[in-house]
Structure 1
Amino acid sequence: MTHKLTILFFCFAVFLFSGCSVDKENEMAEARENLENLIADAENQIDLADVEFSLKPTTVIPKNDFDEKDYRNFTDQQNKYLSEDEFISAVKKDFFLASQFGKPKSAVSISLNLIDVKELLGLDLSIDEVYENAPKFTPNVLHFWDGTEASANYKASPANEELEYNHFLIDASKPIRNIDFDVSFKNYKSTGYRLDLSKPKTKVANSLLEIKSNEAGEVKINYPKSLANRVAEVQGFYKDGRALRKSGSTAYSISSQATVAWLKEALPVYKKAVEEIDNEGLKAPNDLKAFLAEKLPKKPADTNTIEFSKHFFSGPVAYVIVYIR
């Protein structure tokens, strides 16, 4: 009986030892894979940064002929993020009112394209959200065709939920000629910063805006990632001051110069760790942890990433204005 118990205990001990060994092998295999991913990511970041940081501000004449007399190459909507007064002026420019006299209420509608409003106010909203955040027009004073006027005393009725943002039912005893509206709306105020090849850099608080290249109507700009959400618009201008039509933009991020310098020092350490795992010099996760703690350089304090954005225009760009919210 004693002999059998000894055999069973021995087998159980072997099983435990074998299980622990398998767990360590799996953990080290996973650690090696993570190191390989770190190596690949570091090499990509270094390569991309080396290209970007080596670029100097340049300008190139567009390959295709540019017709400065073709109005389609220009736009009069260059500043999309308007002040309150500028927005009201823009709305008034194409604003008209249609009314249909009736009893007990007259139907009134105003021309207001919410897509235009979204662009004018710089609202980063989906189509559904635009309706929810549309400017709120409230009829204030009614002007009648007979020359008289009266307070609208307008109150929106829950019973009229089918009415759109620009349709109203108004109590009016006479046909309406025009209406004074009160309007409330959301908008983003922005400040424009000019960049060109003679002055490629400018400061925004503690951040730096820089034009990196200007080639064939393609302008590349960089700024800290922390500033990215505040960049409302980038507009290119022709040499005579007219705003060029914009066809699109793209953006991506890279690591800061301090981070890239750290990655260049860390990369050989990661590769050496993989080599040590393969040669069984590092056999356990704790061994790897201690190795990296000893060999890796101290991480830099500046870990901010840099945003690069490229903007495409219809012709040669003399300068750009970057609008910052």
Structure 2
Amino acid sequence: MVQDAWQHQTVLLHEAVDALGIQPDGHYVDATFGRGGHSRLILEKLSASGRLTAFDKDPQAVAAAQELAASDGRFSIRHQGFCHLGELGASTADGVLMDLGVSSPQIDDPERGFSFRHDGPLDMRMDTTRGQSVAQWLETAEVSTLAEVIREYGEERFAQQVAKAIDRRRQERGPLRTTRELAEVVAGAVKTREPGKDPATRTFQAFRIFINAELEELQQALEASLHVLRPGGQLVVISFHSLEDRMVKQFMARRSRAVVDRRVPFAEPAEMQLVRVRRVMPSAAEVQGNPRSRSAVMRVAERTEAPA
């Protein structure tokens, strides 16, 4: 049996599952299984004929999900990123849930390289079976590319200084291999400390987002949700930083208004594909019990009958 030494507290657990408006015989999608908190609660609300499909890139998460699938025939797991959501087919889901957070087992396991709080290999890949690690990418990345990634994905105002410091470190002492080495380089380049935030926070976020193509995958998954959701189906997305939330907010806003083609001024406007429902934040009690939930924002929208 798969055991996690690092426990994960699912953020907005009941709020997210309630927002899906579970129909006992329906088909639902947990697009980011993680450690299965949302999935298990969804399964509790499904009848014997209900179904739940989950996606995840992380081999450890997939192993945990396979155990669940072995014991519950209503559940299936795909070892894929949620950009493959559209493969489920048109109008096949009554609800789609996307929890965009990095799970606590990923953050707290030094071997995964996500956190500057523990020294470990500088990896940061969600799927450790494929792709390039951050350490491998840093060996050859140009200074201009480093600065752009740190600025765009980390919203770090010292991006240029950090990029130059990384390059200087590579030339003087060779490639960066560990999280501690990177954190020390960043700390020396970021001159102004944000209250309560480690100077390496923004750079680590930027490299994780970049190496996993997180924003590109999110955009693909949001678009695919319009394809797979049935009319009346709910799209529920939990974001944890401003870049994600901005993308989700803009997507829901854009798809929840009629669009006029200015090239054909007398044509009927394109129909709304979503109806924006609400935004939900964690309660004070949840934030106190799980500080990692403090930045979470959940947005909910309902699929209309307009074609995808």
- Taking structure 1 as the reference length, the TM-score comes to 0.20
| Higher share in strand | 1
Q: Rg larger in 1 or in 2?
A: 1
| Higher share in helix | 2
